[in-house]
Amino acid sequence: MSIRKSIRNRRTRRNIHRDFDLQLTSMMDILVIILVFLLKSYSTSTNSFTTIKGIKLPYSKSQDVPRDSLHLIVTPAGITFDGKTVVSFVPISPESPESAAYAFASEDLTEGNMKIWKLFDALTKARQTAEENNKRLPLRDSSGNPIPFDGVLAIQADQKVLYDTLRKIMYTAGLAQFRTFRFLALRQEPI
Amino acid sequence: MLKRPSSRRRHPPQEVQINLVPMLDALVTMIAFLMFTMAFLSLNMIETPLPAQSESPPQVKEEKPLQLTVTVNERDVVIWSPFNRIKSVTIPHLESGNGRVNAIQVHDELVKIKREFPGENNLVVMPKGSIPYETLVEVMDAARTIEKTDGVISAPNAAGVPEQLKVLFQNVVFGNILGG
């Protein structure tokens, strides 16, 4: 009895396998829709700026879209440039836990506590690399010289970072021949 | 005698099946590539130049410049001109907003000044060192953009024809990078 049942079951199973055909058309439709959406979004994303963990950007109503440039990130923990942590902030007095994360170590600052020398070194190196790259490029200005260094620095800072920190960063960047700063913020859609 | 019907019609139509699997593979690969390389962050920017020291002697003009300045203090915002071209305005921060800048009033005051000086595009921002970045962005937004509710602000263009302005004070410079 049980053998007979087993044979019947096997037949049924075989029939199912023979007739089973995965319907790929609907899946193709979904994938094509996703692809079109991604292509449309891809065409509007003109920069490759990334963010890092622990940073909370402010919102801005500005309509200017940032173009690719050298990129500096200021988090509560420190300053990151070109994907590497250049300066780490140190905790100060325990009475002020909110501002503790944003204090510079005294050995990181020179020139009347305004120049962040580690950041200056990193920015100068980046400028020199950019200038060398410009020399290798076939592009030349009207007098036949290589395209000059644009001196643009995009700054992505946590919303709680104080102006005093930003001022020191801008001062240091100015010493390293950076002349334009682009402050990045999250897009706030108009109401 | 009737002609014999064509034998071609008797054959059932053959089903043509396109092999979708390679196409599916290509689509999945493309979607994965796009998702990995796409910037999901929707960022915008506020550009400010580093204030440069002029080497040439200042030009003597009959009319003093406006040099519109916004000082952001811990408790208020002061809009003023070092050459007294406008009456200074002090706008206290919002008491209900946990000490946040009263961005609407700052914006309204700047709109009034823009109507008076439509050709002026520069603004000097002088925040105190303890002002957070969030507040700076808020002040710069209030100073740069013209809202729909502000009405029409126009200025004569190069040909002398009045033209509707789309920005308030577009060129924002930090005036106290060296200290102060």
Q: Are residues A103 and A161 in the same domain?
A: yes
Do the domain assignments include residue B159? yes
Q: Are residues A35 and A115 in the same domain?
A: no
Q: Are residues A77 and A34 in the same domain?
A: no
Do the domain assignments include residue B30? no
Do the domain assignments include residue B55? no
For B69-83, write each residue's pLDDT tens digit.
Answer: 999 999 999 999 988
C-alpha torsion angle, residues A166, A172, A175, A180 (rounded to 10)? -30
pLDDT at B140 over 90: yes
| Cβ within 8 Å, pair A154-B128 | no
Do the domain assignments include residue B154? yes
| Cβ within 8 Å, pair B27-A114 | no
Q: Are residues A99 and A18 in the same domain?
A: no
| Cβ within 8 Å, pair B31-A65 | no
**pTM beyond 0.80:** no
pLDDT at A4 over 80: no
- For chain A, the domain total comes to 2
Nearest CB to B127: which of A24, A49, A163?
A163
Q: What is the per-residue DSSP string for B119-131?
A: T--EEEEEE-TT-
For A10-23, write each residue's pLDDT tens digit.
Answer: 656 655 555 666 77
Give B-chain residues touching A60 at CB under 8 angstroms.
Answer: 44, 46, 137, 140-141
Q: Which residue of B has its CA nearest to A47?
A: B39
Do the domain assignments include residue A53? no
Q: Are residues A32 and A115 in the same domain?
A: no
Nearest CB to B27: which of A35, A42, A164?
A35
- Asked whether this complex has an ipTM greater than 0.90, the answer is no
Do the domain assignments include residue A54? no
| Cβ within 8 Å, pair A35-B48 | no
Q: Are residues A25 and A89 in the same domain?
A: no
Q: Are residues A100 and A35 in the same domain?
A: no
For B26-84, write each residue's pLDDT tens digit.
Answer: 999 999 988 887 766 778 889 999 887 666 666 666 778 888 999 999 999 999 998 88
Give me B30's structure tokens.
């493309």
Q: Are residues A127 and A167 in the same domain?
A: yes
| Cβ within 8 Å, pair A179-B50 | yes
Do the domain assignments include residue B53? no
Residue B159's domain spans which residues?
69-174
What is the predicted pLDDT for the residue at B135? 93
Nearest CB to A64: which of B24, B40, B47?
B47
Q: Which residue of B has its CA nearest to A29?
A: B24
Nearest CB to A163: which of B28, B47, B136?
B136
Do the domain assignments include residue B44? no
| Cβ within 8 Å, pair B30-A27 | no
Q: Are residues A101 and A70 in the same domain?
A: yes
Quick check: A165 and A102 in contact, CB under 8 A? yes
A28 Cβ contact list (under 8 Å, min separation 6): B20, B23, B24, B27
Q: Which residue of B has its CA nearest to A46?
A: B39
Q: How far is CA A160 from the centre of its chain?
A: 18
Mean pLDDT over A171-188 rounds to 91
Give B-chain residues touching A149 at CB under 8 angstroms.
Answer: none
Single out the residue of A158, A44, A172 nearest to residue A101, CA to CA: A158
Q: Are residues A89 and A155 in the same domain?
A: yes
Do the domain assignments include residue A52? no
Helix, strand or coil for residue B26? helix
Q: Are residues A65 and A152 in the same domain?
A: yes
Burial class (CB in 10 A: 0-12, 13-18, 19+), A14: exposed
Instruction: Say how far apart CA B39 and CA A67 lie, in whole Å.
Output: 12
**β-strands A152-157, A109-110: how paired?**
unpaired
Residue A20's domain spans which residues?
2-44
- For chain B, the domain total comes to 1
Q: Are residues A102 and A130 in the same domain?
A: yes
For A82-93, write each residue's pLDDT tens digit.
Answer: 888 999 888 766
Do the domain assignments include residue B61? no
| Cβ within 8 Å, pair A164-B129 | yes
